[in-house]
């Protein structure tokens, strides 16, 4: 499986592996990843030349100015030479994303390799706000070796960002639900209207969301949002699984993108970040 973060080139930003057309969630698992890449990988942030995974057709289009304010909470995370997506969620100083945006394949915080910032377009223009990964607010600090459903993270910003409406958390997700995925791509925001195809429940109740959304490197951490005027976060994008990720194909158990649903522990971590208390002590859901 592959995760969708993208490594930052000199003078660029940060990120992990690349992605193709209607990409799938993608996770990297070190040596294991080298074996599984043809089937499953995480998605790293990236630009036009990066890998893209297309399920069915590539539905990503530029975000229209008329609805830009609706999705203003979506921004880019740059952390230790890697780029991913994050979004202001719940409170004005809290961001949600994927754990592998903050922790590498060895379980090390990317903050040790370079500062972490959240980049977002606010009312006064583009802002860069420092943020700090917190192991207590992550589904896993070894996301490359953990199931995708634990690949979520909550981080606090150094200060609130004014003038941007944070996303709220939505309800339980089910197969067939329509979702919207907003992400930074090539320096601009793009949006994809796609669908949840399967929800896989683990032994401990944690849920993985499998979709027909397009994925690309650098999309890791992008929220799965409910459609409409009041988008709510129901999950975050992780990566893709495919036997041939560079070729568009219909959704199947051998070609799809995936993420993790917002579960009980995810909600507790978000509440802890908002109240500035310690995060949850269990990683069940």
Q: What's the pLDDT at 43?
A: 52
Distance CA 243, CA 166 (A): 37
pLDDT at 149 over 80: yes
Strands 188-201 vs 232-242: parallel, antiparallel or unpaired:
unpaired
Distance CA 236, CA 247 (A): 24
Q: What's the pLDDT at 55?
A: 81
Strands 52-53 vs 82-88: parallel, antiparallel or unpaired:
unpaired
pLDDT-derived band at 93 (thresholds 50, 70, 90) equals very high
Q: 0.95 exceeded by the pTM? A: no
Candidates 156, 81, 71, 80; CA nearest to 120 is 71
pLDDT above 70 as % of the chain: 78
Mean pLDDT for 40-50 is 48
Distance CA 168, CA 56 (A): 30
Strands 232-242 vs 168-169: parallel, antiparallel or unpaired:
parallel
Q: What's the pLDDT at 62?
A: 72
Strands 82-88 vs 94-97: parallel, antiparallel or unpaired:
antiparallel
| Cβ atoms of 222 and 238 closer than 8 Å | no
Element (H, E) at 85: strand 82-88
Per-residue pLDDT tens digits for 199-246: 999 877 889 999 999 999 999 999 999 999 999 999 999 999 999 999
Least confident interval from 20-34, 125-139, 226-240:
20-34
Show the domains of the chain with their CATH numbers.
6-275 (2.40.10.120)
pLDDT-derived band at 278 (thresholds 50, 70, 90) equals low
Mean pLDDT for 235-262 is 96
pLDDT-derived band at 266 (thresholds 50, 70, 90) equals very high
pLDDT above 90 as % of the chain: 65
Q: What sign results for the dihedral spanned by CA atoms 88, 89, 95, 99?
A: negative
Q: What's the pLDDT at 231?
A: 97
Element (H, E) at 35: helix 30-36
| Cβ atoms of 208 and 193 closer than 8 Å | no
Per-residue pLDDT tens digits for 158-208: 999 999 999 999 999 999 999 999 999 888 899 999 999 999 998 778 899
| Cβ atoms of 55 and 255 closer than 8 Å | yes
């Amino acid at each position: 499986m592959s995760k969708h973060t993208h490594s930052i080139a000199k003078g660029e930003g940060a990120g992990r592996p690349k992605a193709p057309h209607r990409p799938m969630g993608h996770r990297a698992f070190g040596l294991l990843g080298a074996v599984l890449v043809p089937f499953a990988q995480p998605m790293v942030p990236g630009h036009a030349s990066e890998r893209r995974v297309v399920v069915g057709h590539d539905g990503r289009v530029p975000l229209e100015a008329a609805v830009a304010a609706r999705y203003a909470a979506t921004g880019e995370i740059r952390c230790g030479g890697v780029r991913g997506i994050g979004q202001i969620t719940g409170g004005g100083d809290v961001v949600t994303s994927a754990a592998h945006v903050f922790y590498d394949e060895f379980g090390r915080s990317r903050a040790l390799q370079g500062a972490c910032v959240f980049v977002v377009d606010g009312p006064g223009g583009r802002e860069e706000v420092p943020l700090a990964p917190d192991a207590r607010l992550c589904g896993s600090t070894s996301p490359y070796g953990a199931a995708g459903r634990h690949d979520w993270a909550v981080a606090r910003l150094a200060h609130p960002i004014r003038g941007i409406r944070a996303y709220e958390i939505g309800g339980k997700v089910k197969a067939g639900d329509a979702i919207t995925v907003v992400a930074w791509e090539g320096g601009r925001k793009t949006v994809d209207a796609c669908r949840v195809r399967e929800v896989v429940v683990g032994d401990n109740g944690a849920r993985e969301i499998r979709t027909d959304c397009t994925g690309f490197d650098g999309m890791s951490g992008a929220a799965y949002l409910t459609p409409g005027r009041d988008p709510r976060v129901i999950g975050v994008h992780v990566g893709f699984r495919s036997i041939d990720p560079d070729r568009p194909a219909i959704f199947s158990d051998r070609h799809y993108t995936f993420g993790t649903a917002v579960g009980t522990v995810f909600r507790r971590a978000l509440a802890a970040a908002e109240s500035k208390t310690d995060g949850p002590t269990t990683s069940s859901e």
